[in-house]
Structure 1
């Protein structure tokens, strides 16, 4: 137990004897009854057996001693959680509890062992709740210390912990005269004390504590009608009720940190209370609370700040009018990684789209917030004598200042000192624009798995003229058609006040329908021509498009019918693989050495939400039986399901649309290509032999589709290098002629073998040595790694790294 026991007063010997009088006899009586109870099925309460009726008729003093005996037993040995009900039953009625009884119980609990049934809390919580305030005053420090310890003791069951905190909190409140209940906004997180400090007087105003208590009583995401009627009554009869609800939610939206489960429950009720207000300000606040609740700290593996609040708020937000619900939910759809919250977001967006006559994909498209930027991605605003500019440069937002038209370096001192509030708002805008840019890049790449078309006018306004979407869309290939049958590809080009699509020769391509270009629909000659054009013009696409890998169904997959084994039986570095899955929008349970933790299924929606792919992977047990770290996983099947109303139906791989199959397999190839142990240059030095065969076979295996595309990119890039005469591109390897030795770099794993005996050379990737060489995309780190290694090895006589030199000299 913690340090709270130091606040307990000492019991005199006389008081201790009085408390413990009859304890031995009562213990024997209870043991006899429980012995009979043990012959019954433990699925029911031991107080339901016929023998217990005799106990219920015991005199008050006898039941008091029996409860004390049970408490002593619960603190010295582990007992079934069902026996907690025995203590509650024994304490029914008006028993002669004393302050000494409570001190004795707390002392026993403090000295005893802790068990996850929480039985050691039952009796002290019950006695504390029944004593007069005067008998509790000097025990408040100990009771508060115990409560603070319990708040984050997740080894105790939730209901037992919540019951103990409630009863002890009520005792503390009676002893201290507090209006705002201790169990609300407590110290279990940073949020509770913050709100109490800022809003203490408002939250303790007449009627407000009752309103907050009612809000904290909501047990489910959907509020029953009776609960809603009561919250309406409280809001109507409490002068400061509505303001208090909004103030607490405003504080949370600004706080944006993980909440304790109790605070999460309170906020869930508060968002329901807020939803009773129809005004636009309430909608805006609900949107901000939803975004804050669904957000997740990086170290929490996608677990939201307040999951209960998020789930309820998403449902309520989707029923509101205006643009804020659409924008907020659309942004969450591409940023939330938690499965439970993500499914609610998707359902809410589908419902919202149905109400407004939009498809889910169109909802996402119309919801992109422009943040007040003009079509060029720029917002200018005066700040005192200066002009501040927020603009989108490349794929990032930045804030700059100018005075009288002259740009300044950094933020002027006068702005920091005299205009701190305005500066904070501008910096917040930059942060929000940056978040929208990240989400929009992901959304646009997701469109590659859809078969959507747009009218020319919608395409121009939604993609090219939009300040957030435009920086990406203007660097992508699009196709246009006049009859919906023959499609011609081109790049966007500004034409007067609007936009047009031009081919590789700069000629306009006619048509009134537009769709996003995907290489799976193009001929080989067209793909190669566009790749050459992208390189020749120095265009850097926001993601691989011209150089995008294409994955076609194989005969082996047609034979397996319901699944693909193309990327099965690989060994991945699990933490890195799991992180990459989440970055790519896949949702997966975390692997670990617990029940149900040995297998996981990562899932992701494709085709505008009509299809879902699942990538199965399994934990590879650590050789150390005492290690609980999930270091490696093995890959397994990829399967597909088709949405059928509210359910998903398994689908044969032959029925999966080509773009959906290709995009899903591309992601899985990425997981393997980036996180396989075969790509770890230090693997050979780790002394782990159990994957030795896999590492050597995978490190020099036939190229996957992603590696084939990498090879094609290298074929076009290498002639542009000054060391081109020292390089030779083979089927699987890039051969490099150095001044000390010759080398070959595998195009899939990046591993290096040295001539003449194929000795392995370990070089850990470091500083990018590709210099100013233009790369047509930036989402293939292996391409940069291979180029950097080639440039380094071509000048191997200038290498100074001692670890590399030792390997060269062997």
Structure 2
């Protein structure tokens, strides 16, 4: 049986259009179908090779038609040979009626999950002129629609087809955009619907198609030169607007041809956007650097805004690459933002290399480079900028004469400028706080004149530096105070210390000091009402326990805790940990256990193991991400890959690593569930205090005497005891859970709102101290509680 016998009725009639020689070649080719696999016939390669010796253009065209037709037979759906691809690579001189037949067979094919039926037909028209392709235009547009509907918009055949159709103008410019960027994701739809008329103009289409060719890892000199040649002022304006939409764009549902999946960008869209990003490199405008930073952060962070993966590593890489090639100190603040927000390891490595290269150019270390390029945003020494009654403050607010309401009569251009600056300021402040806290954890050393210039006099970082304790190496420590224009340090006893400009200093850390010294600093901060930007004086200290010394290589201090998996992963990722990945999709393959790691100073790597909650399968279901994970042992690995004994880990490194673990447990434990139950919930909610809870105890020791409810409060080893008029309550300092005396009945209060405004000496991650105080104020006046969900519990004896 040959092609003729296996064809359905309609395509069998198409054979009448072929000449006798072509049909004779068909017969010879039919004779090669001698290989039978599972009932399906395939051509014998040796016979084909022998048959093709001495063939000319006509015979190869005949073979191409034979392959195209055989894909319409009962055997056609099983063809997996390289023949279509090999024949598509031949440059053949096709006749018009043969081209028509090729496209009819391609469109009639039932092989909808592959582009094989399109390879030979597309190859046959690639070198035709626009006029020569015109008779086939209806076929080409139908093929374009069929591929779009199949969800296979990333096929190479589709790329070529779209590029060819882009040369055929239509009445709707948006069609030109759709031909380059098919509707595979939300941003592609946005491009067509909101920018289609502009991007589809004849003068912009060549640049749009050039952007779509940005499929390599980086722009070649030839690609960049062509982009610069095609770039017009109008195109630059559209480019800015389109890329300006990208930082706020988020992933959404899209159909991939099989099912609906969460999608950020399909490849075709991402390639166009990468081309746009590359085209920013030669644009000498002030908006470019900030926009590239925004894109790198948005694309570099994970789905949902966190995690060790990235929404689009492709786009983040492109933005970082352009920032690096633009170079200079102006790009450093944007790279610092990426370093603070993005957790994808490959992207962080690229940022570090870029910063290293710029540092070498400037003769500075990367740390010195970062601190020397923090923008001032036009702020004065007091952290504000005031013009024409409008005031921009360090917290990113813009007010008029102290009021939030802005009169209509103010200079609108100035107002717009200040609001744009405020937006950038809000992005930078957390980055700088993160950088300075990292310096505390890594014992960075400065010269005193560097501290004064970059951390005390600077209007942004000065707000942090002036609230921190600085210590002379192996000497005294103090809080900065300016006297007659000169910065000094003042200790809790009021002693003044005047460091020499070249004196080496670092940020004071409680791990290096006695309990009495730490207590003195904590009392002093409470007395002067100084809020620190992060925990320094009240920072938790984690020293080795006898159990850890005995186990030698592992700490189980924070093991066997049930943590909310998604929240724990996000928190640890933000603190530099990677590798936390669990789910109910492949337990035998290892997804029931994982190892989170963090790179530390001195070549050490922290390793914290996690596993799935064994009772979680019924709750989560197969194929889903875990909702709860179990923390396991934590250890350290050296540069040689071996386990490092805990006593050999530097005390500061050990303490800061265990602090991460304590924070993860303290913020994400299921024991915090106000409506929880079970043995673990009881143990966590009312058990012994961790180091972070002990710090809350110390803070409350100084805070309580200053509160209006002081006479109603008593601090015990684990609880803040509050006397109300109806009951007496015990608030646990580790969980915030409440017991009511005399029978220790549990009281469920779900915190909401900001609560009472009470001075806290630090900004606590998780805010549990603030929650505890808010509950204390509420319960001290329990007769004024009107929330029915609470009053009902108070009435139950």
* Match in the other structure for 1:295: 298
1:691-746 Cα shifts (integer Å, max 9, x gaps): x3322322233211111111112222233334434433222223334444443332
Distance 1:264 1:614, change over 3 A: farther
The match for 2:456 among 464, 468, 481 is 464
Structure 2 residue aligned with 1:399: 398
Question: Is residue 485 of structure 2 the alignment partner of residue 488 of structure 1?
Answer: no
Q: Which residue of 2 aligns with 1:42?
A: none
The offset of 1:445, in angstroms, is 1.3
Deviation of the 1:518 alpha carbon: 0.9
Gaps of 5+ in 1: 1-12, 40-45, 685-691
Q: Does 1:630 align with 2:622?
A: no
Deviations 1:69-112 (A, max 9, x none): 4367799x7x7xx9274543465655765546645644655xx7
**Residue of structure 2 in register with 1:134 after alignment:** 134
Structure 1 residue 784, shift from structure 2 partner: 2.0
In 1, the alpha carbon distance for the partners of 2:511 and 2:63 equals 82
1:555 to 1:735, Cα distance in 2 relative to 1, 3 A: same
The 1:317/1:803 distance shift into structure 2, 3 A limit, reads closer
Is 1:256 paired with 2:252?
no
* Residue in structure 1 matched with residue 763 of structure 2 by the alignment: 778
Q: Secondary structure of 2:154's match?
A: helix
Tell me what 2:669 maps to: 676
Q: Which residue of 2 aligns with 1:800?
A: 786
Q: Could you say if the C-alpha distance between residues 378 and 714 of structure 1 is closer, same or farther in structure 2, counting changes exceeding 3 Å?
A: closer
User: What is residue 497 of structure 2 aligned with on the other side?
Assistant: 509
| Partner SS, residue 411 of structure 1 | coil
1:721 alignment partner in structure 2: 707
Instruction: Find the counterpart in structure 2 of residue 747 from structure 1.
Output: 733
Which string of whole-angstrom CA distances, capped at 9 and with x for unpartnered residues, describes residues 290-339 of structure 1?
54234247725456565224324434533555311322212221122333
Matched residue, 2:214: 216
Contact kept? 1:379, 1:391, Cα under 8 Å: yes
Cα distance in structure 2, aligned partners of 1:660 and 1:501: 27
**What TM-score do you get using the length of structure 1 for normalisation?**
0.79
CA 1:88–1:18: 2 relative to 1, 3 Å: farther
Secondary structure (helix, strand or coil) at the match of 1:683 reads: coil
CA contact (8 A) 2:32 2:43 kept: no
Q: Following TM superposition, by how much is the alpha carbon of 1:122 offset from its aligned partner in structure 2, in angstroms?
A: 5.6
Among 421, 430, 438, the residue aligned to 1:429: 421
Task: Determine the C-alpha separation between the residues in 1 that align with 2:422 and 2:292.
Answer: 20
3-state DSSP of counterpart to 1:546: coil
Q: Counterparts of 1:28 and 1:711 in 2: how far apart (Å)? A: 88
2:343 counterpart of 1:337: yes
Conserved in 2, the CA contact under 8 Å of 1:274 and 1:282? Answer: no
Q: Distance in 2 between matches of 1:683 and 1:363?
A: 49
After superposition, the C-alpha distances for 1:360-413 in whole angstroms (9 at most, x for unaligned) are 3223222312223233323344xxxx4533222xxx1222345xxxx6652332
Distance in structure 1 (CA, Å) of the matches to 2:242 and 2:643: 42
CA–CA distance in structure 1, aligned partners of residues 359 and 74 of structure 2 = 59
> CA RMSD of the aligned region, Å?
4.2
Answering whether residue 527 of structure 2 is matched by residue 536 of structure 1, we say yes
Number of the residue aligned with 1:657? 650
1:6 is aligned to: none
Render the CA deviation track for 1:507-526: whole Å, top value 9, x for unaligned: 32132333211111121111
Compute the displacement of 1:584 (Å): 3.4
Aligned residues: 733
Alpha carbons 1:726, 1:794 under 8 Å: kept: yes
Instruction: Answer whether contact 1:26 1:62 (CA < 8 A) is retained.
Output: no
Distance in 1 of aligned mates of 2:479 and 2:465: 9
* Structure 2 residue 567 is the aligned partner of structure 1 residue 576: yes
SS at match of 1:673: helix
What do residues 204-224 of structure 1 show as CA deviations (whole Å, max 9, x unaligned)?
A: 48x7578546x5242x24x6x
Q: Which string of whole-angstrom CA distances, capped at 9 and with x for unpartnered residues, describes residues 9-43 of structure 1?
A: xxxx9855535999x9999989854629999xxxx
* Aligned counterpart, 1:3: none
Alpha-carbon distance between aligned partners in 1 of 2:403 and 2:700, rounded to the nearest angstrom: 41
Residue 120 to residue 495, structure 1, CA distance change in 2 (3 Å): farther
Asked whether the equivalents of residues 563 and 670 of structure 2 are also in contact (C-alpha less than 8 Å), the reply is: yes
Shift of 1:459: 0.7
* Distance in 2, Cα, partners of 1:422 & 1:452: 40
Q: CA deviation at 1:350?
A: 2.9
Give the equivalent residue in structure 2 for 1:413.
408
Change (3 A) 1:390 1:739: closer
For residues 15 and 634 of structure 2, the distance between their equivalents in structure 1, rounded to whole angstroms, comes to 66
Report the TM-score when normalising by structure 2: 0.80
> CA contact under 8 A between 2:487 and 2:498: conserved in structure 1?
no
Question: Shift in Å at residue 574 of structure 1?
Answer: 1.2
Match of residue 168, structure 1, among 158, 161, 166: 161
Which of 717, 734, 751 matches 1:765?
A: 751
SS of match in other structure, 2:155: helix
2:288 aligns with 285
State the alpha-carbon separation in 2 of the partners of residues 349 and 501 from structure 1. Answer: 32
Aligned to 1:476: 468
* 1:776 Cα offset (Å): 1.5
**Separation in structure 1 between the aligned mates of residue 403 and residue 680 of structure 2, nearest angstrom:** 57
The 1:332/1:293 distance shift into structure 2, 3 A limit, reads: closer
Write the deviation string for residues 425-465 of structure 1: whole angstroms up to 9, x where unpaired. 32211100111111111111111112222222211110011
What secondary structure sits across from 2:468 in the alignment?
Answer: coil
1:218-237 aligned within 5 A: 218=216, 220-221=217-218, 227-228=220-221, 230-231=222-223, 234=226
Distance 1:705 1:14, change over 3 A: same
Residue 786 of structure 2 aligns to a residue whose secondary structure is coil
Greater displacement, 293-302 / 668-677: 293-302
